[in-house]
């Protein structure tokens, strides 16, 4: 079973056409996504994958891909 | 003939159920091969026939950005790319401030909107995509195309239901005449073959119930027609003033000679039974072009395959053009492209002139005796200098365009 980080990476590459080489744990979402709409869209897609909802407040707390992985890890475990 | 307009067509592009690209479209339309197939099952409503665009891979044409476009914008972008390339234009080399975009739209990005409504009902407001509005608003197709083509001139969407495509091309012609732009990219797009829209049309009694024989369901002007077949697609033309087009050595594909627009002011969905609004639009187009009925060598009719439209349109045509002009409805092949119908049929009319061929009206087994027009189920070779295209929308909005030889 892939890790949360691996799943997020796959969503970024397959659904958002982000080159794999541009993705690292400390990569900021806003640096690889098209605009702020896409950052929110990314949250919707990741949430849908794990069948959880990410609130605007939660999304505001994340900057990097590692942050997203940590947030999703805690929400999926909860 | 004393046509006054100097507005020429220098590029054409289309994606319809008849194919991707102008050449594929003409092959199928001129052969009269229907495209209708079974679509979403509407259950008790008893109708299931649609004309979809098949084998369309948006990301192949548009790259990863395709996911941020509703299907109606995707179809439009591909058709526009073909039209711009056909015109020999390159977006980086033109003065974008002098490039206008005028697109006809009916319901906009309804595929996105309905999918998001399901998300709202099933998962709640936080599941809604932030791209919902940018993908579904009716003006977005023009806004998205402006970004794609770096066109910073006038940017309009017009909405006259099933006349939208013709209204867009007519409006673009007027912008060029008024010198508000040097290049106009005009046309329309529609992708609304979703159960909500189809059910709504069916509840009005507008759709065919010939589900047992889909290929024969769209049969304009035929005695046994029983409603239209909803279709999706996009068609775009590039328009320029003739002097500008000639100066840059562009190939001229045809002309937009005249445009007439009227309203029935009669009923929200039924055409005026005497076709008065349609007649007035056709007459206005002739006057705009400085032409007479005798100059018109072919009519690409709106001909939806509904009992009411075809009957009212026939009355209007007989009154304005007489009963001898060769008439065809290409909707027998394509189904009803809704907002895009007038744009696609303008392109077909220009192709009829170019190839000297009146296309067949598919599935015309027995002409309704009340129609009284010069129709045929087979293609007819004929030199055409001027063709008319008519389009009529729910809401009583009527548009007629005159298309001329290069």
CATH number assigned to the domain comprising residue A20: 1.10.1200.10
Give yes or no: B272 in active site: no
- A contact residues 33-52, partner B, Cβ 8 Å cutoff: 34, 37-38, 40-41, 44, 47-48
pLDDT, one tens digit per residue, over A41-55 is 999 999 999 999 999
Overall domain count for chain A: 1
Q: Is B126 on the interface with A (CB under 8 A)?
A: yes
Query: Domain residues for B264?
Result: 7-404
Q: Which residues of B touch A44 (CB under 8 A)?
A: 127-130
Give yes or no: B162 in active site: yes
pLDDT on residue B1? 42
Residue of A nearest to B127 (CA): A44
* Alpha carbon distance A21, A6 (integer Å): 13
pLDDT on residue B256? 98
Q: Decide if A53 and B126 are in contact by the 8 Å CB cutoff.
A: yes
* Alpha carbon distance B156, B152 (integer Å): 11
How far B79 CA lies from chain A's nearest CA (Å)? 24
The pLDDT profile of chain B, 406 residues, written as one tens digit per residue, is 444 449 999 999 999 999 999 999 999 999 999 999 999 888 888 889 999 999 899 999 999 899 999 999 999 999 999 999 999 999 989 999 999 999 999 999 999 999 999 999 999 999 999 999 999 999 999 999 999 999 999 999 999 999 999 999 999 999 999 999 999 999 999 999 999 999 999 999 999 999 999 999 999 999 999 999 999 999 999 999 999 999 999 999 999 999 999 999 988 888 888 889 999 999 999 999 999 999 999 999 999 999 999 999 999 999 999 999 999 999 999 999 999 999 999 999 999 999 999 999 999 999 999 999 999 999 999 999 999 999 999 999 999 999 999 9
In a domain, residue B331? The reply is yes
Burial class, B29, CB count within 10 angstroms (exposed 0-12 / middle 13-18 / buried 19+): buried
pLDDT on residue B269? 84
Query: Domain residues for A39?
Result: 4-77
How far B122 CA lies from chain A's nearest CA (Å)? 11
Farthest-apart Cα atoms in chain A, separation = 31
Q: Is B143 on the interface with A (CB under 8 A)?
A: no
| CB < 8 Å & 24+ apart, contacts of B172-175 | B172/B100, B172/B102, B172/B239, B173/B5, B173/B7, B173/B239, B173/B256, B173/B259, B174/B259, B175/B100, B175/B102
Global model pTM greater than 0.80: yes
Residue of B nearest to A47 (CA): B127
pLDDT on residue B45? 84
Q: Decide if B130 and A37 are in contact by the 8 Å CB cutoff.
A: yes
Overall domain count for chain B: 1
Q: Decide if B127 and A44 are in contact by the 8 Å CB cutoff.
A: yes
* Alpha carbon distance B275, B280 (integer Å): 9
pLDDT on residue B5? 47
The residue from B76, B162, B272, B298 that is catalytic is B162
How far A14 CA lies from chain B's nearest CA (Å)? 9
Q: Residue A78 pLDDT more than 80?
A: no
* Alpha carbon distance B250, B10 (integer Å): 7
Beta-carbon contacts of residue A14 (< 8 Å; ≥ 6 apart): none
Q: Decide if B126 and A54 are in contact by the 8 Å CB cutoff.
A: yes
In a domain, residue B297? The reply is yes
How far B293 CA lies from chain A's nearest CA (Å)? 54
* Beta-sheet strands, E only, within B322-369: 326-328, 357-358
In a domain, residue B1? The reply is no
B336-368: b or e for each residue (b if 16 or more CB lie within 10 Å)? bbbbbbbbbbbbbbbbbbeeebbbbbbbbeebb
CATH number assigned to the domain comprising residue B354: 3.40.47.10
Please report the ipTM that was assigned to this predicted complex: 0.92
Q: How confident is the model at residue A69 (pLDDT cuts 50, 70, 90)?
A: very high
Q: What share of chain B is helix, strand, coil (3-state, %, to 5)?
A: 40, 20, 35
């Amino acid at each position: 079973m892939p890790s949360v980080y691996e799943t997020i990476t796959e969503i970024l590459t397959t659904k958002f056409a982000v080159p794999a080489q541009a993705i690292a744990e400390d990569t900021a979402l806003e640096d690889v996504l098209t605009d702020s709409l896409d950052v929110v869209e990314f949250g919707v897609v990741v949430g849908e994958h794990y069948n959880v909802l990410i609130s605007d407040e939660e999304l505001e707390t994340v900057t990097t891909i590692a942050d997203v992985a940590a947030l999703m890890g805690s929400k999926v475990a909860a | 003939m004393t046509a006054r307009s100097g507005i020429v067509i220098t590029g054409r592009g289309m994606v319809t159920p008849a194919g991707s690209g102008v050449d594929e479209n003409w092959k199928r339309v001129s052969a009269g091969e229907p495209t209708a197939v079974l679509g979403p099952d509407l259950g008790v409503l008893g109708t299931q026939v649609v004309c979809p665009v098949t084998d369309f891979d948006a990301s192949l044409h548009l790259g990863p950005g395709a996911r941020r476009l509703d299907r109606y914008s995707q179809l439009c972008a591909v058709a526009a790319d073909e039209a711009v390339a056909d015109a020999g234009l390159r977006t980086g080399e033109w003065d974008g401030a002098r490039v206008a975009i005028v697109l006809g739209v009916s319901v906009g990005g309804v595929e996105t909107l309905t999918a998001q409504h399901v998300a709202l009902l099933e998962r709640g407001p936080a599941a809604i995509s932030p791209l919902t509005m940018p993908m579904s608003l009716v003006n977005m197709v023009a806004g998205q195309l402006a970004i794609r083509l770096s066109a910073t001139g006038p940017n309009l969407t017009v909405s006259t239901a099933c006349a939208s495509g013709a209204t867009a091309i007519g409006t673009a012609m007027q912008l060029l005449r008024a010198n508000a732009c040097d290049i106009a990219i005009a046309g329309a797009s529609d992708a609304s073959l979703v159960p909500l829209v189809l059910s709504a049309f069916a509840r009005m009694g507008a759709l065919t119930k010939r589900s047992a024989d889909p290929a024969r369901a769209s049969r304009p002007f035929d005695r046994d027609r029983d409603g239209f077949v909803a279709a999706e697609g996009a068609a775009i033309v590039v328009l320029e003033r003739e002097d500008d087009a000639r100066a840059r050595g562009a190939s001229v594909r045809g002309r937009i000679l005249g445009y007439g627009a009227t309203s029935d002011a009669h009923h929200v969905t039924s055409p005026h039974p005497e076709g008065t609004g349609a007649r007035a639009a056709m007459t206005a187009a002739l006057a705009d072009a400085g032409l007479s009925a005798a100059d018109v060598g072919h009519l690409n009719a709106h001909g939806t395959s509904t009992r009411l439209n075809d009957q009212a349109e026939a009355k209007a045509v007989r009154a304005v053009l007489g009963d001898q002009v060769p008439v065809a409805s290409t909707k027998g092949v394509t189904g009803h492209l809704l907002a895009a119908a007038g744009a696609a049929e303008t392109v077909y009319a220009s192709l009829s002139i170019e190839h000297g061929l009146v296309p067949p009206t598919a599935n015309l087994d027995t002409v309704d005796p009340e129609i009284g027009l010069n129709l045929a189920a087979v293609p007819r070779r004929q030199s055409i200098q001027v063709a008319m295209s008519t389009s009529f929308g729910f809401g009583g909005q009527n548009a007629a365009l005159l298309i001329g030889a290069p």
